[in-house]
Structure formats: structure tokens, C-alpha cells
Amino acid sequence: MLDEAKAGELFAHIKKHSSADEVEVLFYDVHSALTRFANNTIHQNVAEENQVISVRSVFGQRTARATTNRTDGESLQRVVQASESLARVQHQDPDLLPMARPEESGTGTVGAVRHFEQTAALTPQKRADGVEQIVKIAGDNRLTTAGIFSSSEISEGIFNSRGLQRWHRQTSSEISVTMLAQDSSGWQKANSPDVCHLDARMLAEVAAKKARDSAHPQEVSAGRYTVILEPAAVLDIVGFMFFDFGGLAILDQRSFLNDRVGKQIFGENINISDEVNHPLQSGAPFDGEGVRREHVPLIEKGVVKRLVYARATAQRVKKSEYKDKLGHVGPTGHGFPLPNEMGEAPMNIVFQTPDNPQTTEQMIASTDRGIYVTRFWYIREVDPYEKILTGMTRDGTFLIEDGKLRHGVLNFRFNESLLHMLSNVEAMGTPVRASGEESFDMVVPPMKVKDFNFTEVTKF
């Protein structure tokens, strides 16, 4: 793996060949492996080693980026020349700031350890051991299983010619399990920087139970229902709103928060922050310019209190009509690598623990009639300002009656506004680190939501 010392040598080499006013280099090195299984067989099994060196050059108010995965001297010179050639022909950008200084970057690592040798050293044989356990449980239940067991180690860093230098490394591991019966299925997924925290057997048992219990699904008509959403379902749907929580989205007037910051738009029980240092979070403590990621309280008691800002966005907002309308404005360390069109976004979302957290069992017990959702699928935005999203349920959808899961149901299509949904949360559980397929990982609770809008039913 690329380490900070080697990256420093490469940066010195690049700086020597740079004729730009300023130069910045992003380093990214990944060793990853993924064992994939289906039909109770490992059918795909892959490993990758790759590193990326990305050079940004600045001439006055012009900047551009070039990227390579080659580290030989000739390739490094070529990538420097490519970034400089591109930068020289750009138009002047009056909002471009000098590169970040070291004091904007902070020091040290994130609070929790995010690199574990046992994850970095995980072998294909160990992953096969995990898959074997899952396949055995499938066989014991007369089910067919499909899924993944993956692990990776990454190093990433940023160096610039103003002396900023940050480095981060972490590991990750993930198991996702689908269990398939003749007319039903179940699913579970978990990830962790420490592979020892993954329990293949438990995930497989829960997925198998869902597949068994939802067998012979019955059709229930579409309409508004109380729903109980597992954490993965919550994160996949709410994830669609956080790219609107950047200052540039407001300036561009593409955010559903235009004219809504400071107003009560969600229920009073909704409190969400961005916290890279949360023990259940992952990722580097600095952004695409190397700026330290701050803890930002985004939503307090249903009111959007703050947004996140890259350095240039903060400067633009302070000069704009929005300067007094968005609460505290200043760089928060959430910018994407420059140049880019998206600006910034909070990527370390943490839902605050509610006053009276409930388990999903308690939520079910208090529900006269409702739908239990394991997972959503193929979520897309229908309306960008009312934040209406559509999507399907999948892999374990149940009817709740009289406080009990009664039986599996045919999957629903929903068309639901996030403004409506997060104003109708009746109960939440303790937030956990969850992983879905439609959005980035978050620390989210299970939720009980009333009047969730299912509009159609599919055939299975």
C-alpha cells in the first residue's frame, strides 16, 4: 500500500515538475476483494489493486485536474503537464480561492480506529469460510442464497504547495445475504471496518427467517399505511435529500431547502447531524481540499439549522442574498475535490438517539394495521422540490395486524414525499450503522411512520 512517506516523495517529484502557481495532489490506493455467491455457489470472486494520483494545477484564477494510475517518472510528468495544459485554457474563475493552508486542515486522525489488520489481511479462504456458513444455513432451510462477502484496505491523502498534508487509512468489510424461496425472499446486510464484527451466521439466519415467514405472499391493496422501516430502508430513502444540504445547491436553486432553512419542515423528533468522528461512522476527517470536517448539526427538532460549505461556496454565500437566511455560514470541510459542479454535501450522517427509543418488536406490537419493510429498491426522485420519491419494497415485506406480523405481501410501489414522511415519524429505535444499496452508509434508526403512500402493487 501507498503510505504517507511514499506519497510525500511522489508529491515532491510532482512539485519539482510543476510550473503552476499552486499545485495539489490527491492520492488514493485501494486493495479490495469481493467474494460473490448465488445458487449456493461462489460464482464470482475478485481482487483489485489500484492507486490513483490526481493533480490539480492553478494559474491565477484558473484551475483544472488530471488523473493517472501510473507512478513512473514519465507518467507523473505527463499528468502534471495535462493538468497545466487544461488549467491554462480555462476562463478566469473569480470565486477560486488560494489552496487551503495547513491550519485549515487540522491534525490527527478520527477518534475511532478505522484500520484493522485482520480486515486488511482477510484471505479468499476466510471469505469462503463465511460463505460456507451462509450456504449451510440456506441448505438447512431448503433455500437458495446469493450475496457477497467483501473486504478492502484504502489509503488516501492530500498534499498541496501551501504545505497542507493530510493522510487517512481505513479498512472495511461487508456481508450481504439474500435468501430465496419459491415465492419469497429475505435480506440482511452489515458492514464494519473490523471484519470480526461481522456475523455471517446471524445475518443468514435472519434473512432465512424472513424468506420463510414471507412465503406465499398475499396481495394487499395499495394505499396509505403505517409502515415500520428497518434501518437500511430508512437510509436508502432519506439519503436522497442530503445532496441538497450544501450551500451551492441553494445558490443554484436546485435544493428543496430553498426558502425552507430555519423553518419547521419535519417533525420535532427529527434531529440529524453530520459527524465524521462518530464511533459508528467511517471516512477521512478532511474534505476534497484537505479542510477539516466539522461536526455540523443539520436538523434540530425538525428545523433545518445549518448547511455544509466548501471554502469557495461559503465565500459566495456570504456575498449573496442568502447571507442572512441560512444560519451560520463558513467552511465546514465538506467540499468535493476541485473543480466540480456539486460543491459539497454531508456524507457522515448521524440520526440522534430519540428520547424513548423503541425496538422494532415494540413498534410492531403497537400497530393495529401496517406494513413492515425490510428494504427499498430502485428509488428515484419524482419531484425535486417536494422531494417526492418513488421506489419498490423488496426481500421481506409483511402485513402487520393487531400487533403481529401476519404474512408476507406482494411488493408495493411507493410515491412518498420526504417532507411528509419525516413529519409523520411516530417512533424510532436506537440508531445503528446501516448499509443499503441506494445511498451511502449512515447511522440511522428503524422508524415507524404513519400514512406512508403506497400507490401500486407488483406481481410478486
Partner 1 sequence: MQEIASWALNSASLKGAFYADARIVNERGRSLATKNGKIGSAADSESLGIGVRVIADGAWGFASSDDLSRKSVEETAARAVEIARASARVKQEEIHLAPESTVTAEWVSPFKIDPFSISVEQNLDLLLKIDSELCAVAGVTLAETNLNFKREEQWFASSEGANIHQTKYITGAGYAAYAFAGSEIQKRSYPNSFGGQWQNKGYELIEELKLVENARRTGEEAVALLKADRCPEGVSTIVLDSAQLGLQIHESIGHPIELDRVLGMEANFAGTSFLTLDKLGKLRYGSELVNVVADARPEHGPGLGSFAFDDEGVSAQCTPIISNGLFTGYLSSRETAHAIGSNRSGGTLRAESWNRLPIIRMTNVSILPGEKPLSREQLISSTDSGIFMQTNRSWSIDDKRYNFQFGCEMGWEIKAGKLVRMLKNPSYSGITTDFWNSMDAICSRDEWTLWGTPNCGKGQPQQVMGTGHGAAPARFRNVKVGSAYKGN
Residues 378-407 that bind partner 1 (CB under 8 A): 378-386, 388, 390-392, 394
Residues 9-28 that bind partner 1 (CB under 8 A): none
Q: How far is the CB of 431 from partner 1 (least distance, A)?
A: 25
Residue 343: CB partners within 8 Å, gap ≥ 6?
Answer: 246, 247, 248, 249, 309, 310, 313, 335, 336
Is 124 an interacting residue with respect to partner 1 (CB under 8 A)? Answer: yes
Q: How far is the CB of 411 from partner 1 (least distance, A)?
A: 6
The stretch among 20-28, 145-153, 349-357, 422-430 that binds partner 1 (CB under 8 A) is 145-153
Q: How far is the CB of 384 from partner 1 (least distance, A)?
A: 5
Q: How far is the CB of 126 from partner 1 (least distance, A)?
A: 9
Distances (CA, A) of 305 to 291, 295, 317: 22, 13, 16
Instruction: Kindly tell me which of 280 and 342 has the beta carbon lying closer to partner 1.
Output: 342
- The amino acid occupying position 265 is I
Residues 417-436 that bind partner 1 (CB under 8 A): 417, 420
Residues 197-256 that bind partner 1 (CB under 8 A): 224, 252-254
Residues 25-84 that bind partner 1 (CB under 8 A): 32-51, 63-70, 79, 82-83
Instruction: Kindly tell me which of 67 and 165 has the beta carbon lying closer to partner 1.
Output: 67
Q: Cell 479542510 maps to which residue?
A: 291
Instruction: Kindly tell me which of 98 and 460 has the beta carbon lying closer to partner 1.
Output: 460
Instruction: Kindly tell me which of 87 and 235 has the beta carbon lying closer to partner 1.
Output: 87
Q: How far is the CB of 340 from partner 1 (least distance, A)?
A: 5
Instruction: Kindly tell me which of 127 and 166 has the beta carbon lying closer to partner 1.
Output: 127
A 10 A CB-CB count for 112 gives 12
Is 377 an interacting residue with respect to partner 1 (CB under 8 A)? Answer: yes
What CA dihedral angle connects 245, 246, 247 and 249, to 10 degrees? -90
A 10 A CB-CB count for 117 gives 10
Query: Is the distance from CB of 119 to CB of 127 less than 8 angstroms?
Result: no
The stretch among 143-151, 158-166, 190-198, 213-221 that binds partner 1 (CB under 8 A) is 143-151
Instruction: Kindly tell me which of 32 and 277 has the beta carbon lying closer to partner 1.
Output: 32
**Cα distance between residue 394 and residue 410, in whole Å:** 9
Residue count, binding to partner 1 (CB under 8 A): 95
DSSP SS3 for 280 = coil
Instruction: Kindly tell me which of 421 and 428 has the beta carbon lying closer to partner 1.
Output: 421
- The amino acid occupying position 170 is Q
Q: How far is the CB of 185 from partner 1 (least distance, A)?
A: 8
Residues 277-336 that bind partner 1 (CB under 8 A): none
Query: Is the distance from CB of 409 to CB of 398 less than 8 angstroms?
Result: yes
Instruction: Kindly tell me which of 263 and 404 has the beta carbon lying closer to partner 1.
Output: 263
Query: Is the distance from CB of 257 to CB of 304 less than 8 angstroms?
Result: yes
What CA dihedral angle connects 84, 88, 94 and 99, to 10 degrees? 20
Question: What nine digits make up the cell of 130?
Answer: 463465511
- Look at residues 109, 108, 79 and name the one whose alpha carbon lies nearest to residue 10: 79
What CA dihedral angle connects 186, 282, 23 and 250, to 10 degrees? 70
Is 366 an interacting residue with respect to partner 1 (CB under 8 A)? Answer: no
- Look at residues 374, 367, 350 and name the one whose alpha carbon lies nearest to residue 430: 350
Q: How far is the CB of 268 from partner 1 (least distance, A)?
A: 23
